[in-house]
Amino acid sequence: MAAEADKPCEWGGPLEGLRVLDLTRVLAGPYATQSLGDLGAEVIKVEPPHGDDTRNFPPFVGQESHYFLALNRNKKSVVIDLKQEAGKDLLRQLVAKSDILIENYRPGVMSKLGLGYEELCAINPRLIYCSISGFGQTGPLRDKPSFDIVTQAMSGALSINGERGRSPVKIGLPIGDMVGGIYGPIAILAALHERSLTGRGRLIDISLHDGLIGMLGYLAQLSFVTGEDPQPVGSMHPTIVPYGSFAAADGYIIIAVLSEAFWPKLCRALEHPELAEDKRFSMLPDRRQNRENLEEIISRVIRSKTVAEWERRLEDFDVPHAPILSISEALSHPHALARDMVVTADHRNIGKISMTGRPIKYEGAQQTALTAPPALGEHTHAVLRNLLGLSKDELKALSDGGIIVDGQ
Catalytic residues: 177
Yes or no: say if 105 and 23 are a contact pair by the CB < 8 Å rule.
yes
Q: How far apart are CA 183 and CA 28, in angstroms?
A: 10
CA angle 319, 322, 326 (to 5 degrees): 175
Q: How far apart are CA 76 and CA 87, in angstroms?
A: 17
First to last CA, the chain: 44
Could you give the 3-state DSSP secondary structure of residue 396?
A: helix
Question: Smallest Cα–Cα separation from 151: which of 172, 132, 176, 175?
Answer: 176
Phi, psi of 28 (to 5 degrees): -55, -50
Phi, psi of 215 (to 5 degrees): -85, -5
Question: Smallest Cα–Cα separation from 252: which of 335, 326, 334, 320?
Answer: 326
